[in-house]
Structure 1
């Protein structure tokens, strides 16, 4: 890769694999991949766009793996997919005009509530109880697909966790929820990538090698999740949401205390 040292290339490959392994199951891979891209010197907007290129490659891989395993409700998620795509494209466009900082306090509170609910609802998500959508459930999941698509393009952190939580509320187990979430996440990633490319905010020299590593990480991560079942996914889900909460709190500490 012209212009990229071997050390940087190896660093991006390692970061990409680790990010995709986690992201393929419960999301949150951006916690690893975006700081890695910023660390090698990319401007923030380009780091976000380049991450979307790599993340799209990883999301496609894990989505195919979940589809092959039969852990995705294709009838439902393919109807929701256009909403996720539209929302994400709108989110990327809006973030070019409006700072995303005002959303962060709301997201922190929601992540805490999601984690508490999951921890205290014993046995939740271990077995699938989904039968069919009621009118209330339809309104809820349609709104969630559109709003979380927008959020993924606008800010992104925790999108996977919120998508999984939404499908859990419908009665899917953790593995099915993870599979359903990956389809919508793939759609929002593609829409965001296209929009970032229109703003010339994608560096292919960095994104392609990281994306190849993400393909491998997503393949391994999704297979481990499918093999180990709902209990494994629940532990990883709670772990990642706690990390997201910790990072959000640390960002506030750095901003408002260590001025």
Structure 2
């Protein structure tokens, strides 16, 4: 059933639960699961494709949890989700044809800037603010770029969707978190579809991790809805900073 010994499976399941919890609140769950898959012996492309399998479970659970609480109307997000899916699919299909070195070099500094924005900007809470661009322009110009990035590179996708919803759409922190999840789920599915054409995921491991993601995402989304920006902001700052430091360490 599983592609690995039981002790490694349990390690990966535990990592997926923690990732589901973190990802449902602030994004950045891949910071936990991708290194865990590599540590377990997965080749890089197989680690990424397996990560997409398990990540879709958590993103879907978080999206449904926020929708069930009335924080977001999933039906209204279907056009944006379709665009995010196509972006993720295109990014994954082109991952071997587009040089990503420059993106990977700049990415840590972008993540640090996002962390600083959420840490230092005064008055950033769950209150909606002025909308800077129309919903149609946001969907047509911003969503496909982040979806494409998710399929092409991946780390920090949730944080990038969050920063867009807060700064461009004018959403409060909790509302931005809720609206991020379906788009992140869709780009995950698109990326998985693309990766499946070049590498077969570990399906048994991916599904087992996905079930753990469901449990973590349910716990995390409930806690986020209860506490709001007071929990989401510091966790987003922490995950973005840790991911940036990890990427810098890998470059060095």
1:8-157 equivalences in 2 (<5 Å): 8-74=8-74, 77-129=77-129, 134-135=133-134, 138-157=136-155
Aligned partners of 2:74 and 2:182 also within 8 Å: no
Cα deviation, 1:113-160, whole Å, max 9, x if unaligned, reads 222222221111331236x7754x643453220000000000100110
* CA distance in structure 1 between the partners assigned to 2:132 and 2:164 by the alignment: 13
Which residue does 1:214 correspond to in 2? Answer: 213
Change (3 A) 1:2 1:133: closer
Contact 1:127 1:173 in 2 (8 A): yes
Q: What are the residue-to-residue correspondences of 1:218-229 with 2, within 5 Å?
A: 218-229=217-228
Is residue 160 of structure 2 the alignment partner of residue 162 of structure 1?
A: yes
SS in 1 for 2:94: helix
1:257 alignment counterpart: none
Offset, 1:247: 1.2
Partner of 1:7: 7
Q: Structure 2 length as normaliser, TM-score?
A: 0.93
Q: Distance in 1 between matches of 2:109 and 2:10?
A: 36
**Could you say what secondary structure the match of 2:176 adopts?**
helix
Gaps of 5+ in 1: 254-259
Q: TM-score of the superposition, structure 1-length normalised?
A: 0.90
Looking at structure 1, the residues matched to 22 and 178 of structure 2 have their Cα atoms a distance apart, in angstroms, of: 13
Are 2:27 and 2:156, in contact at CA under 8 Å, matched by a contact in 1? yes
In 2, distance between residues paired with 1:41 and 1:183? 30
Equivalent residues, number: 251
Residue 71 of structure 2 aligns to a residue whose secondary structure is coil
Q: CA contact under 8 A between 1:125 and 1:168: conserved in structure 2? A: no
CA distance in 2, matches of 1:87, 1:100: 16
The alpha-carbon distance between structure 1 residues 41 and 76, as it changes in their structure 2 partners (threshold 3 A), is: same
Q: Work out whether residues 126 and 231 of structure 1, in 8 Å CA contact, stay in contact via their aligned partners in 2.
A: no
Residues 3 and 207 from structure 1, CA distance in 2 versus in 1: closer, same or farther, beyond 3 angstroms? Answer: closer
Change (3 A) 1:163 1:154: same
Whether the aligned pair in 1 keeps the contact of 2:119 and 2:234 (CA below 8 Å) is no
1:52 is displaced (CA, Å) by: 0.3
Give the superposition deviation at 1:93: 0.7
The answer to whether structure 1 residue 195 and structure 2 residue 166 are counterparts is: no
Cα-Cα RMSD? 1.8
Measured in 1, the distance between the counterparts of 2:10 and 2:63 equals 26
Unmatched 5+ residue regions in structure 2? none
Q: CA deviation at 1:76?
A: 5.2
